[in-house]
Amino acid sequence: MNVVDVLLGEHGAMYSQFDCVERVVPGLDGLQEIRALGALLAAVVQSHSTVEDELLFAALERPLGRASPALVGMRMMHEDIDRGFAELERAEDPGAARDALLGVVGLARQHFLGEEESLFVTARRVLDDETLGRLGAAWAERRGVLQNPIEDWTSAPHGA
Ligand SMILES: [Fe+2]
Ligand SMILES: [Fe+2]
């Protein structure tokens, strides 16, 4: 399981959530409900940033260099997204909360597109298949999903 493929899959699932937030939030007037939607989105976006940073970006530090503009830029965007969610938590009226939530969705869309157009392409070029697969296995463990359970079952000793 290639780590770039699984991170792309997470982007795809989050695009559906972004579409939903952009459709629903403009019609919401309750501060608590806007914050609750934001908290749900933050849970998935921020866990994606963390797993991406600690697995893929960390592995890219060796070939690209820790100070690589591409890595530094993407990490800064993760921090900008975090600040957007913090702004939502601080919002004291529905208008400010709507602006903060829609703003962070816009930032995340821009960031995901940048990864898909550039950093993920670079990752496939500079990391070998073994590394991409090892990182994919680490991703599965972090996410709590079973990787190749059928293969594991068929390779188990008889009677096991
Ligand atoms: Fe990212
Ligand atoms: Fe990403």
Asked if residue 152 has pLDDT above 70, the reply is no
In a domain, 121, yes or no: yes
73 Cα–ligand 1 center, Å: 10
**3-class SS at 55?**
helix
Structural domains of the chain, count: 1
80 Cα–ligand 1 center, Å: 11
In a domain, 120, yes or no: yes
**Tens of pLDDT, residues 89-145:** 999 999 999 999 999 999 999 999 999 999 999 999 999 999 999 999 999 999 999
**Tens of pLDDT, residues 48-100:** 999 999 999 999 999 999 999 999 999 999 999 999 999 999 999 999 999 99
156 Cα–ligand 2 center, Å: 35
48 Cα–ligand 2 center, Å: 6
Range(s) of the domain holding residue 78: 3-142
94 Cα–ligand 1 center, Å: 28
* Residues across the chain: 160
In a domain, 39, yes or no: yes
88 Cα–ligand 1 center, Å: 19
Considering only CA atoms, give the Rg of the chain: 18
DSSP-H helix ranges across 91-127: 94-114, 120-126
Q: Could you tell me the pTM of the whole model? A: 0.91
Nearest ligand atom owner, CA of 53: 1
In a domain, 97, yes or no: yes
How many angstroms separate the first and last alpha carbons of the chain?
A: 26
Nearest ligand atom owner, CA of 116: 2
